[in-house]
Amino acid sequence: MKFMDADTKSEPAKREEEILAFWQKNEIFEKTLSKEAPKGEFVFYDGPPFATGLPHYGHILAGTIKDAIPRYKTMQGYHVPRRWGWDCHGLPLENQIEKELGLATKRDIETLGVATFNEAARKAVLRYSDDWKAIIPRFGRWVDMENDYRTMDATYTESVWWAFNDLHKKGLVYEGFKAMHLCPRCGTTLSNFEVAQGYKDITDISVTAKLELVDEPGTFLLAWTTTPWTLPGNMAAAVHKDMTYVKIVSGNEKYILAKDRLEVIKVDYEVEKEFLGSELVGKSYKPPFSYFADHNIKGKEKAWKVYHAPYVTMDSGTGLVHLAPAFGAEDLELAQKEGIPIVHHVDKDGFFVDVVSDFKGLQAKPKDDSQSTDVAVIKYLAGKGLLFAKEKIIHSYPHCWRCDTPLLNYASSSWFVEVTKFKNKLVAENKNINWVPKEVGEKRFGNWLLNARDWAISRARYWGAPIPVWRNHKAKENVFIGSLDELKSYTKKSGNTYFAMRHGESEKNVKKVISYKPDDGVSLTEKGKAEAKKSTQNLGVHIDIIIHSELLRATQTAEIARETLGLEVSAVSTDSRLNEYNHGVFNGRPDSEWAEHFKEIAPLFEKGPEEGESINDMRRRVGALLYECEHKYAGKNILFVSHGWPVAALVAVSKGSTAKEALSVLADHAMLKPAEIVSLPFIPLPHNKNYELDYHRPYIDDVVLIDTDGTRLERVHDVFDCWFESGSMSYAQNHYPFENKDRFDPKPGWLKKSRGYPADFIAEGLDQTRGWFYSLLVLGVGLFGRATYKNVIVNGIVLAEDGQKMSKRLKNYPDPVTVLEKYGADAIRYYLLASPLMRAEDLNFSEKGVGEIASKLIGRFLNVLSFYELYADLTVNDLKARSSEHVLDRWIVACLNQTVVEVTAGMESYELDKATRPLLSFVEDFSTWYLRRSRDRLKEGGSNTGDALRTFRTIIEEFTKVSAPFIPFTAEYAYQKVKKSGAPLSVHLCVWPHIDSIDEKLLHDMEEVRRIVSLGLEARQRADIKVRQPLQKLSAFSSELSGKGELLELIKDELNVKEVVIDESVAKGEVLLDTSISDALKEEGNVREVLRFIQELRKGAGLTPHDPAILVVSSDAEVERFLEKHWEVLSTTAKLSAYEIGGGTSELVFDGMTFRFNVRS
Q: Provide the pLDDT for residue 876.
A: 47
Burial code (b: 16+ CB inside 10 Å, e: under 16) for 1120-1153 equals: eebbeebeeebbebbbbeebeebebebebeeeee
- In angstroms, the CA 927 to CA 651 distance is 67
Q: For the whole model, what pTM was predicted?
A: 0.88
Is a pLDDT exceeding 70 seen at residue 432?
yes
pLDDT tens for 782-810 read: 999 999 999 999 999 999 898 888 877 77
- Categorize the per-residue pLDDT at 665 as very low, low, confident or very high, splitting at 50, 70 and 90: confident
Closest to 545 (Cα-Cα) out of 613, 444, 626, 608: 626
pLDDT tens for 1015-1071 read: 999 999 999 999 989 999 999 888 888 888 889 989 998 898 999 888 888 888 888
Cis peptide before 437 (omega within 30 of 0): yes
Please tell me the least confidently modeled range out of 376-385, 619-628, 836-845, 1126-1135. 1126-1135
The mean pLDDT of the chain is 91
- Categorize the per-residue pLDDT at 935 as very low, low, confident or very high, splitting at 50, 70 and 90: confident
Residue type, 838: M
Cis peptide before 965 (omega within 30 of 0): no
Output DSSP code: residue 928.
Answer: I
- Compute the average pLDDT of residues 211-221: 95
- Give, in words, the CATH class of 494-682: alpha beta
Q: Provide the pLDDT for residue 369.
A: 84
Q: Provide the pLDDT for residue 409.
A: 85
Is a pLDDT exceeding 70 seen at residue 781?
yes
- Give, in words, the CATH class of 845-988: mainly alpha
Torsion (CA) 582, 584, 586, 587 in degrees, nearest 10:
60
Residues comprising the chain, all counted: 1161
Output DSSP code: residue 749.
Answer: B
Q: Provide the pLDDT for residue 874.
A: 43
- In angstroms, the CA 783 to CA 460 distance is 25
Please tell me the least confidently modeled range out of 113-127, 447-461, 744-758. 744-758
User: Within a 10 A sphere around the Cβ of 274, how many other Cβ atoms?
Assistant: 10
pLDDT tens for 458-481 read: 998 999 999 999 999 999 999 999
Who's near 387: CB < 8 A, 6+ residues apart? Answer: 207, 208, 209, 210, 378, 381
Q: Provide the pLDDT for residue 142.
A: 98
Q: Provide the pLDDT for residue 1084.
A: 84
pLDDT tens for 808-819 read: 777 888 899 999
Is a pLDDT exceeding 80 seen at residue 371?
yes
- In angstroms, the CA 347 to CA 327 distance is 11
- In angstroms, the CA 754 to CA 245 distance is 64
- Categorize the per-residue pLDDT at 1117 as very low, low, confident or very high, splitting at 50, 70 and 90: confident
Spatial strand order of the sheet with 714-715 comes to: 477-480, 469-472, 714-715
Helix (H, G, I), strand (E, B) or coil at 285: strand
User: Within a 10 A sphere around the Cβ of 536, how many other Cβ atoms?
Assistant: 25
Is a pLDDT exceeding 90 seen at residue 418?
yes
- Categorize the per-residue pLDDT at 877 as very low, low, confident or very high, splitting at 50, 70 and 90: very low
Who's near 764: CB < 8 A, 6+ residues apart? Answer: 47, 62, 771, 772, 773, 792, 794, 795
- Compute the average pLDDT of residues 334-359: 91
Is a pLDDT exceeding 50 seen at residue 846?
yes
Beta bridge partners, 225, equal 207
Tell me if 666 sits within 8 A of 648, measured CB to CB: yes
User: Within a 10 A sphere around the Cβ of 40, how many other Cβ atoms?
Assistant: 10
- Categorize the per-residue pLDDT at 4 as very low, low, confident or very high, splitting at 50, 70 and 90: low
* Distances, alpha carbon 205 to alpha carbons 316, 368, 611, 1090, in Å: 14, 16, 68, 84
Who's near 138: CB < 8 A, 6+ residues apart? Answer: 3, 16, 17, 20, 820, 825
Dihedral pair phi/psi, residue 150, rounded to 5°: -135, 130
Who's near 171: CB < 8 A, 6+ residues apart? Answer: 418, 421
- Compute the average pLDDT of residues 428-456: 95
- In angstroms, the CA 1126 to CA 1090 distance is 10
Q: Provide the pLDDT for residue 878.
A: 47
Strands 236-239 and 305-308: parallel
Q: What percent of the chain has pLDDT over 90?
A: 69
- Compute the average pLDDT of residues 503-515: 94
Right CATH for 6-176+721-818 from 3.30.497.10, 3.20.20.70, 3.40.50.620, 3.40.50.300: 3.40.50.620
DSSP per residue, 987-1027:
GGGSPPP------HHHHHHHHHHHHHHHHHHHHHHHHT--T
- In angstroms, the CA 307 to CA 223 distance is 13
Distance from chain centroid for Cα 746: 23
Is a pLDDT exceeding 90 seen at residue 405?
no
pLDDT tens for 190-204 read: 877 788 778 888 888
Is a pLDDT exceeding 90 seen at residue 667?
no
Q: Provide the pLDDT for residue 979.
A: 93
Domains in the chain: boundaries: 6-176+721-818, 197-417, 469-487+705-719, 494-682, 845-988, 1003-1077, 1084-1160
- Compute the average pLDDT of residues 1001-1011: 91
**Within this chain, domains 6-176+721-818 and 845-988 share the same CATH topology:** no
Give me the sign of the Cα torsion angle 451, 456, 462, 466. positive
Burial code (b: 16+ CB inside 10 Å, e: under 16) for 823-846 equals: bbbbbbbbbbbbbebbbbebbebe
Q: Provide the pLDDT for residue 1154.
A: 77
Q: What percent of the chain has pLDDT over 70?
A: 98
Who's near 734: CB < 8 A, 6+ residues apart? Answer: 159, 740, 743, 744, 756
- In angstroms, the CA 1111 to CA 703 distance is 93
Is a pLDDT exceeding 50 seen at residue 535?
yes
CATH architecture of structural domain 197-417: Alpha-Beta Complex (3.90)
941 or 752, which is more confident: 752
